[in-house]
Amino acid sequence: MEEHELSNENERKTLFVIVITIITMVAEIVFGYITNSMALLADGYHMGTHALALGLTYAAYVLARKFSKSELFPNGTKKIGTLAAYTSAIFLGLTGAWIIGEAIARFISPLNIQFNEAILVAIIGFVVNFACIVVMEHGHHDKEEKEDYNFKAAYYHILADALTSILAIIALVAGKYFNITSLDSIVGFVGGALIIRWAVSLVRNTVRELVDMKR
């Protein structure tokens, strides 16, 4: 697949995932207000942060395509996507750090968890993110393994959200049926650490691309 064809395909996939994410976000926020559910509201606003990150990815594709033949970019527009990926990776790292902070705070001062409601929200989040992962799978490189870091950043955001949903389901089920409430904080810490690891890897790769560093 040619590079521009791969980019166009990834752009379409990103737009599709943005639409799914926004629809889910609006539904959770509206239903959260109707039912006075803080869990649904929190997850809805959390999905909003991922929609912003995905929007950054999509904007980079649009700009790269628009200026692909512009004299302003004599060396091509590939680094627009790389710069977007770098910025998105920073947001991803901040998300991981926030999750770790929340996990530590809840371990020190446990909150009263509404298990049934929280499990429902986690399942909804996982189903939506799994569908997005299926759409985006194998989109960050072509047959020659040319990395599209912009798309990879978006993929990591969705993967991170799916991971936190899976860990949340495990922890909530353990808390509800086995009264192991501390597991919620522990898996949150582990998930946050893994997300930071992805972010660091993506930052390292995009910086090398931006400054033309030898690998």
At 9, the pLDDT band (50, 70, 90 cuts) reads confident
More confident position, 145 or 64: 64
In a domain, 30, yes or no: yes
In a domain, 215, yes or no: no
Residue 165 pLDDT exceeds 90: no
pTM above 0.85, yes or no: no
In a domain, 193, yes or no: yes
If one counts the domains in the chain, the total is 1
Of 31-40, 70-79, 101-110, 157-166, the poorest mean pLDDT is in 31-40
| Averaged pLDDT for residues 45-65 | 87
In a domain, 159, yes or no: yes
In a domain, 192, yes or no: yes
| Averaged pLDDT for residues 69-96 | 89
| Mean pLDDT, the chain, integer | 84
Q: What angle do CA 33, 39, 43 make, to 5 degrees?
A: 90
pLDDT value at residue 40: 66
Distance CA 49, CA 22 (A): 10
In a domain, 20, yes or no: yes
Residues in the chain: 215
User: Where in the sequence is the domain holding 69, given as residue range(s)?
Assistant: 3-210
In a domain, 179, yes or no: yes
Distance CA 31, CA 84 (A): 33
| Averaged pLDDT for residues 12-32 | 87
CATH number for the domain including 183? 1.20.1510.10
pLDDT value at residue 39: 59
φ, ψ of residue 180 to 5 degrees: the values are -95, 75
| Averaged pLDDT for residues 96-104 | 87
In a domain, 155, yes or no: yes
Distance CA 57, CA 84 (A): 6
Percent of the chain with pLDDT over 70: 89
How many helices and strands, by DSSP H and E, does the chain display? 6, 0
